[in-house]
Amino acid sequence: MQASQPEPLALDGPLILPLAPEAVACGFPSPAEGYWSGDLDLIKHLIRDPASTFVWKAAGHSMTGAGINDGDLLLVDRGINPAPGRIVVAIVDGDYTVKRLDVIQGRTVLVAENRDYADIVLHEHTEMSVWGVVTWILSRPTIRRGVRPLR
């Protein structure tokens, strides 16, 4: 997707929310204490450096295996080293894409996390630069009624 670069986050101050005293069980329920243990500043928790952090909206389905769905918001930090294994926003021949950065048999590859999509194997004539590293994926939970997950 070809687009102009987004603006850095404009943060006026902390975003404080109450923090539960313990992790919530995803298996069998555990007894709750019924109180909050303090506050969590979401800005400090999610943002390493506000001046180098941007929000991108994901479009498409090539990264569903990494938990990135169409319409999710991605926090992208331009100040983090784009090491193999990280999910990155890359510019390939002038177009933006989100993929997992890897090196396979000595070649740089942008890996799609959906088998229905091809990886991007970089060749000597391919122009590619990493715009930034995805640090968080912000998505809404799926609403499902009367359907049990496949086992």
Q: Respond yes or no: is residue 37 known to be catalytic.
A: no
Asked if 124 contacts 31 with a C-beta cutoff of 8 angstroms, the reply is: no
Residue of 30, 62, 129, 139 with catalytic role: 62
* Cβ neighbours of residue 88 closer than 8 Å, sequence gap 6 or more: 82, 98, 99, 100, 101, 110, 130, 131, 132, 133, 134
Q: Is-contact 6 52, C-beta < 8 A?
A: no
CB-based contacts of 110, cutoff 8 Å, min separation 6? 88, 90, 92, 97, 99, 100, 101, 102, 119, 120, 122, 128
Tokens of 55: 């929000």
Q: What residues does 138 pair with on adjacent strands?
A: 73
Q: Which of 89, 83, 23, 13 is nearest to 47 (CA)?
A: 13
- Marked catalytic residue, from 37, 57, 99, 129: 99
User: In the annotation, is 139 catalytic?
Assistant: no
Residues noted as catalytic: 62, 99
